[in-house]
Amino acid sequence: MVKRSVVVSLIACFACTASFAQEPSSLNGNWVAKFPSASGQPREAKLVISNGAGTYQLLAKSRDDPCVGREAPIVISNESSEGFELGILASKALTGCRDSQWQAKRVDDRTYEGVFGDGRKFMLMRQ
């Protein structure tokens, strides 16, 4: 009887664990971001997203700004069918770099877009 109850308990535990397991995020994969710089120059960045985290790297270099072109960690939050928030944690890559938060709205399965606080638009496209 004890063996049977242990087996039943184990089966129940595995069933509970499976029901709480999350599906992989639909955002997982490689993305490119396109947006104008503050001075209007076209910019591109690559993003790699994996289950709510990943990396962001602006595809540019600057002798004057060590933050430009440096790979930084990202965090995805508030993911829904309408969009998500992208947190770029540049200060974790290099002290003194500024973090940023993007609000991305879904256009289709491969495209999201949004607007920065200063009015510049960005687009995220799945690669």
| Pick from 67, 68, 89: nearest CA to 77 | 89
Tens of pLDDT, residues 43-100: 999 999 999 999 999 999 899 999 999 999 999 999 999 999 999 999 999 999 999 9
Q: What's the angle, vertex CA 7, arms to CA 23 and CA 2, rounded to 5?
A: 150
- In this prediction, residue 121 has a pLDDT band, given cuts at 50, 70 and 90, of very high
Q: What is the CATH number of domain 24-126?
A: 2.40.128.120
Asked if the model's pLDDT at residue 103 lies above 70, the reply is yes
Q: What is the mean pLDDT of residues 121-125?
A: 99
| Domain boundaries, given as residue ranges, for the chain | 24-126
| Pick from 102, 95, 56, 59: nearest CA to 79 | 102
Residue 57 tokens read as: 């790297």
Helix H or strand E segment including 107: strand 100-108
CA 104/CA 102 separation, integer angstroms: 6
Q: What is the mean pLDDT of residues 1-5?
A: 56
| Pick from 46, 26, 89: nearest CA to 102 | 89
